[in-house]
Structure 1
């Protein structure tokens, strides 16, 4: 299809769209608006794909020789940047984040301490399931990735920790700022929805969200891109192996003989007691557990959502609704951690991640 013909179709399409929407009642237009937009994109894409190489016609090397500008094929370029990610890497990053929070809770250090106490005979267990589990861990050493390996992975994927990144490796330096911004944007979106439910009153106001979808989409796309480009290499294998190991050791810590040895009721009591006795203190287990749960779920949502620009806001509201509670829970837990106690608040945090200049302090 020539460029001139394409321009004509675009003008006629706009006229057709106005005429068709004008015939529909106001309360029935919204479902058709997104459908018309999708159909328009399909028409442009189909017309361009069915044509020959317009560049050869433009420089005069085509079968027709030099061609006038109005007869040149329309140069439709398929936008695919936002889709050029590897979903498995993003899911591995979500699992790695879950593992990282348990690393901060000293789970791996607690298990290493139990192995040392078991080997030295300083823990009164001998034949129970916990003793057998510690024996098998000591015998087979199933986790091949050491603490140093994990620290490098956290640094590459999230820029967490102080480990030296390998030369030439991509480090996701803006991850935490973007993650906080995404959580804040989700929370703000649902706060705006609550406000909208209070002040409803205009025509059709009850049929559209009050919050802004664009901020969530923009930060979500940035997170997807940055995680995709920084989680290649062994991140997937490390997350899978360490995740299975973490699952096994959490089950081990819940063994009755290990709990009895420390006069504990749950595995988390074991973690707290061992941390206080041998590791210099406990490390925010309540906040870290919630950040691990909600952070992983939100990152899985980011991995599976394409954040299309022309999405139906009502549909987006329904899809993203379960994430609102996770975002609020994550922010609340983050505020109680050492690094989150300086949290500037919802509005300053959102302005920072969006690049809005902050007013100078008096």
Structure 2
């Protein structure tokens, strides 16, 4: 437990020590910027040990108020003798890795659901039961027969849709009873992927225009870390419940569906070379859908890689060299995820906007849409879509 005088003197001594070290090693710091990171990390660790010891010390019963107010035998004669707390314990940025890994697997399954893998299997099953396709006793036919035999033991499609809505914020409706849709997930994932991609784009540019190609002194790791922590903290409170069990079952279901589609008799039926060709052929022939198989599948793969990286403690690394080495793992997946999402109109590539406020769906700097010109019959009292002297609604139809 430190006093106000000791508190001030400590930080003055730390500042003087930093200045003395920087002055003594000025020539080496200009040549080796990593040395500055190492020195700062050691000094920060020393300060963290002192702060932890002070936080662990038990405060007096009155919290030091008697010293400050001048009451009792422990009354302070000067302000420097009063108790000075260092603050409260920092916000816990750690999270159970298995919950973030479960979110990554659920996101992976969701993208395959959007592609239509389960829908294609159910369509083939329907055609098989109707005798409308030339399937009899092959491995694909037997797999179609067994596919829904364990349905009573599995989570239903409504359970899957409810989980997508609660954890990822995708889909429509309110989701499961008592749950709240996680509407912030997608914009935070877009923002984090953009910041990772921007960081490495800036790094590549600096490698070209500077003499020391791999000098880790360009780009801000603080922006990337803040974007990653925002996304991870968002998932911290939406990944409770039955998510772990659900994702294990869904991964088994997805594997079973793919094995059916990759069966020789199923591929021969459509003249396909692999299971994905079967998916595309069924979607075109029976559903007349616009194919999004390739970008959606890559979004599932790369998005899961990004989320898995957040499950590790890498985002808490404060040393630049170590952070860059760890971040390199998702440099290309983040860039590919942004490209795939952009091709589907699900994300916007950010070039200069670096901040994403919590109460907006687009980064700072993006121009807001211009308001429409109001006609002479617009009524403020009636609100948007209400016109004076007319019984028309906003879509031009009579109510």
The TM-score with structure 2 as length reference comes to: 0.80
Q: Deviations over 1:207-238 (max 9, x none)?
A: 32312212211111111111121222222221
- The alpha-carbon distance between structure 1 residues 283 and 233, as it changes in their structure 2 partners (threshold 3 A), is farther
Residues 196, 331 of structure 2: 8 Å contact kept: yes
- Determine whether 1:317 maps to 2:324: yes
Corresponding residue of 2:23: 22
SS of structure 1 residue aligned to 2:147: helix
Higher CA-based Rg: 2
Deviation at 1:107, TM superposition (A): 0.4
How far apart, in 2, do the equivalents of 1:142 and 1:15 lie?
70
Residues 180, 349 of structure 1: 8 Å contact kept: no
How far apart, in 2, do the equivalents of 1:77 and 1:138 lie?
54
Task: Select which of 20, 29, 53 maps to 2:59.
Answer: 53
- Determine whether 1:284 maps to 2:284: no
Deviation at 1:281, TM superposition (A): 1.9
Corresponding residue of 1:230: 238
How far apart, in 1, do the equivalents of 2:337 and 2:368 lie?
29
- The alpha-carbon distance between structure 1 residues 125 and 358, as it changes in their structure 2 partners (threshold 3 A), is closer
Task: Select which of 350, 355, 358 maps to 1:346.
Answer: 350
Q: Does 299-308 or 100-109 show the bigger shift? A: 299-308
Corresponding residue of 2:218: 210
- The alpha-carbon distance between structure 1 residues 360 and 286, as it changes in their structure 2 partners (threshold 3 A), is closer
- The alpha-carbon distance between structure 1 residues 125 and 58, as it changes in their structure 2 partners (threshold 3 A), is same
Higher relative contact order (CA 8 A, sep 6+): 1
Regions of 4+ moved over 4 Å: 64-67, 348-355
- The alpha-carbon distance between structure 1 residues 34 and 3, as it changes in their structure 2 partners (threshold 3 A), is same
Corresponding residue of 1:38: 45
Deviation at 1:276, TM superposition (A): 1.5
Residues 299, 337 of structure 2: 8 Å contact kept: yes
Q: Deviations over 1:228-252 (max 9, x none)?
A: 2122222222112111111121122
SS of structure 1 residue aligned to 2:223: helix
Residues 175, 223 of structure 1: 8 Å contact kept: yes
How far apart, in 2, do the equivalents of 1:347 and 1:76 lie?
38
Corresponding residue of 2:3: 3
SS of structure 2 residue aligned to 1:193: helix
Deviation at 1:22, TM superposition (A): 2.8
How far apart, in 2, do the equivalents of 1:206 and 1:99 lie?
38
How far apart, in 2, do the equivalents of 1:328 and 1:55 lie?
56
User: Which structure features the higher share of helix residues?
Assistant: 1
Q: CA RMSD in A?
A: 2.5
- Determine whether 1:171 maps to 2:181: yes
- Determine whether 1:127 maps to 2:134: no
Residues 290, 330 of structure 1: 8 Å contact kept: yes
Q: How does 1:1-362 map to 2 (within 5 A)?
A: 1-4=1-4, 5-24=6-25, 25-26=28-29, 27=32, 28-49=35-56, 51-54=57-60, 56-60=62-66, 67-68=75-76, 70-72=81-83, 74-83=85-94, 85-141=95-151, 144-201=154-211, 207-305=215-313, 307-308=315-316, 311-337=318-344, 339-340=345-346, 343-347=347-351, 350-352=354-356, 355-359=363-367
- The alpha-carbon distance between structure 1 residues 151 and 3, as it changes in their structure 2 partners (threshold 3 A), is same
In the alignment, structure 1 segments of 5+ residues that lack a partner are none
Deviation at 1:314, TM superposition (A): 1.6
- The alpha-carbon distance between structure 1 residues 211 and 270, as it changes in their structure 2 partners (threshold 3 A), is same
How many matched pairs? 352
The TM-score with structure 1 as length reference comes to: 0.88
